Homo-oligomer: A and B are copies of this chain.
C-alpha cells in the first residue's frame, strides 16, 4: 500500500465538482458532487443520534435498498436536521433533480448536508447548484479538491487522501474526503466522510468491512462530546480496477482492509487535529488492558476530559486530570498498579512494553519525578501523546481528541451569526 496524491477522484472513473450555490453564505464553495462513470456498490455507516437529519434517513434507505449508487450531492451551511416532512421532501426533490441532470436513477443519488440545525433549505438554490455541479464535474485532481473544500464548514484544513494497493496483481485505488470540526463525537461514524474506490467488491463484504473499521477509527475521536445528527460515512466502489472480486478470508481482503483502515484512521485523526479552535492533537494510547472495550473506554475518557483538554491548551502537566479521567471512565484498571507517560515520539515499542520513548509521570499510586520543563515542551507540540500502561493484559486502543481553547468557545458561542 502506498499513499498517492489526490482524493476522491484518484480511483478510476470518479468525477467531482465543488461550486458556489449561495446556500447560506456568499462567496464560498458550498455544494459538492461525487459522480461515478459506472454504477457503484455503496456501503454506509450513520449517526446513532435518535435525531437523524433528513439526508441521513435518505442515505440509509439508498444504501440498504438500492441496487446501486452513482452520485453524491452534498451541501454545507444548513444541516437539514430538525426539519420534519419538508426536510424529507427536499431530499426527494434533490435526488430527482440530480437524477434528471446526471441521467441516472433517482435511487442512485446519495445526499449529504452539514451546517446549522433547524433551518430549511431552498430547493431553488439546490437545483441551481446541481446544474452547476453537473456542468463542472471532471475526473481531475483539482475537481476532487474543489469538492473537498466545498464540504468544509468550521474546518480550517482540507482533508483529502488517496492510496494505492495491489490486489492480486491489480492496482486498486481508494480516495477520500472528510469534513468535521465541531459536534464531533462520532458513534457509528463521523460528520461527513466519503471514500471512493475502483475495487471490485460486493455490497455485503464492503459493508461489513466498513462497520468493523469505524470502531477503532472514527468512533475513537472526539472534539466536544456532541454526537451529530448528520454523521455519515459512505464508501462507493465502482469496480473499474477490474480486480478479481475481494472475498473475505483472503490476503486480498486483508490488503484492502488495511488500505481502508489507513484512510479512515488518517482522516479521523485529521478531524480531531482540526477540531474547532484546536491548537493540538491529543493522542491517548492505552496498552496492556484486560479487554479491548476497556482499552477503548479508557483512551476515549482521557481525550474527552474537558480538564485534560484545557490543561494541554495551557501546556500544563496537570497529570492528575488524566488519572481522574481514567478513574471515572468506568472500565477495569487499578490506579495503584499502572503507569502514565508522555510520548516523546510515535512508538510501536510501547505495545511490547518498551516505554523508552516516553517520559514517566505517574506510576503505581504516586507521581514520578520528572522535569516540568521537558513536560511543558512535550505539551507544546502540535501532537501530544499520552500513554497509559495498565499492566493487566494484552489489549490496547488509541483515541484522538484536541485541546479546549478560547477559540472553541468563541466559535460556538456565536456559530449562527
Contact = CB atoms under 8 A, between A and B. Distances in A.
Contact of A311 (B323, B335, B366, B415): B415
Interface stretch (A135-143, A223-231, A259-267, A342-350): A223-231
A310 B408 contact: yes
Given A323-B82, A326-B51, A413-B311, A224 B182 contact: no
A341 to B, nearest CB: 15
A342 B404 CA distance: 28
A327 B182 CA distance: 16
B118 A84 contact: no
Contacts of A229: 320, 323-324, 327
Contact of A182 (B307, B314, B333): B307
A314 B412 contact: yes
Contacts of A86: 366
Contacts of A319: 82, 117-118
Interface string A71-88: 000000001011111110
A102 interface: no
A365 interface: yes
Given A224-B307, A307-B226, A362 B118 contact: yes
Given A335-B50, A365-B85, A414-B314, A304 B228 contact: no
Interface residues of A, number: 66
Contacts of A81: 320, 323-324
Interface of A is mostly: loop
Nearest to A319: B118
A49 B327 contact: yes
A51 B330 CA distance: 11
Nearest to A364: B84
A83 B319 CA distance: 12
Nearest to A403: B413
Interface in A283-331: 304-307, 310-311, 313-314, 316, 318-321, 323-328
Given A83-B366, A320-B81, A414-B314, A48 B409 contact: no
B409 A324 contact: no
A306 B412 contact: yes
Interface string A362-392: 1011110000000000000000000000000
A307 B414 CA distance: 10
24 contacts: A50-B335, A51-B335, A81-B324, A84-B364, A117-B323, A118-B362, A118-B367, A182-B307, A183-B321, A225-B225, A225-B305, A227-B328, A229-B320, A307-B412, A311-B412, A313-B413, A314-B414, A314-B415, A316-B413, A316-B414, A316-B416, A404-B409, A406-B406, A408-B409
Given A51-B323, A226-B325, A227-B324, 4 more contacts: A49-B328, A51-B335, A86-B366, A117-B320
Interface of A: 48-52, 79, 81-87, 116-119, 182-183, 185, 187, 224-229, 304-307, 310-311, 313-314, 316, 318-321, 323-328, 333, 335-336, 362, 364-367, 404-406, 408-410, 412-417
